[in-house]
Amino acid sequence: MLIDATRTPAREIVFDTETTGIDPGSGHRLVEIGLVEMVGRVETGRVWHAYFNPERSMPPEAQAIHGLSAQFLSDKPLFSELVDQILEFIGDSILVAHNAQFDMGFLDHELGRCGRAVLGNARAVDTLALARSRHPGSKHSLDALCTRYGIDRTHRIKHGALLDAQLLAQVYIELTGGRQIGLDLTQASCAQPEVAAQARSGPIIVQRPVRPARLHAADPLELERHAAFVARLTDPLWQEA
């Protein structure tokens, strides 16, 4: 059972995977993963991304989705060669994915093949379930949610794990309360870990120079024109008893 995503953990990893198919139990493998770090629902700018050699052929229907051919992946590292880096980046953080059971299933399958402990769904937040709960009867694909929330996806030609994880991070913010959670930091500020750390520890104090007061008094000519205008008014309200 997936956890309640209304909680706000200090650090979350939004991630996406690309695979050779839909069922790891049928011999399908993970070929790409993209991880995006968020702290206090603010992207820190830290990401982790890699392609993997699946040690098998690539079905045409899968390649049509992500564009990754067996030839392209043939010289990429095995998952087992990078598993330590993946686990170090993830740490003990909550994992956020769209249709999390699918992505967690492939990630756990690859971990099991390496003799590592699986992560399981207990630490997963499923944005698909969140979207279905918040927008019943609507389309809940990543594309549809980007359109709903006005998130630019014009550069998304095919599925890609890192790009999709970055888009999903923005969708996740909207699904869980919007930009106010992240103090509405600018994109440039969010890319700096020290700014994100400051946002976690308390309000951000911005020092601005004090501007001298501007004079707004009317000049004599303006006062004269105003008096002439008022004199032409017939039965003004302020003269009523």
All structural domains of the chain? 11-201 (3.30.420.10)
> Across-strand partners of 18?
32
Amino acid at 53: N
**185/204 Cα distance (integer angstroms):** 10
Write down the mean pLDDT value for the chain: 84
Q: What is the pLDDT of residue 193?
A: 43
3-state secondary structure 74-125: CCCCCHHHHHHHHHHHHCCCEEEECCHHHHHHHHHHHHHHCCCCCCCHHHEE
Q: What is the pLDDT of residue 4?
A: 53
Average pLDDT score over residue span 149-161:
85
- Asked about 226 being catalytic, the answer comes back as no
222 labelled binding-site residue: no
Say which of 98, 135, 159, 226 is annotated catalytic.
159
Model confidence band, residue 188 (pLDDT cutoffs 50, 70, 90): very low
126 labelled binding-site residue: no
Contact 52, 18 (CB under 8 A): no
Q: What is the pLDDT of residue 219?
A: 78
CB neighbours (10 Å) of residue 229?
Answer: 9
Q: What is the pLDDT of residue 205?
A: 40
Residue among 75, 22, 25 nearest 50 (CA): 75
**46/13 Cα distance (integer angstroms):** 10
Contact 183, 25 (CB under 8 A): no
164 labelled binding-site residue: yes
Q: What is the pLDDT of residue 2?
A: 52
Residue among 119, 84, 89, 87 nearest 104 (CA): 119
**The pairing of beta strand 124-126 with beta strand 94-97:** parallel
Q: What is the pLDDT of residue 89?
A: 97
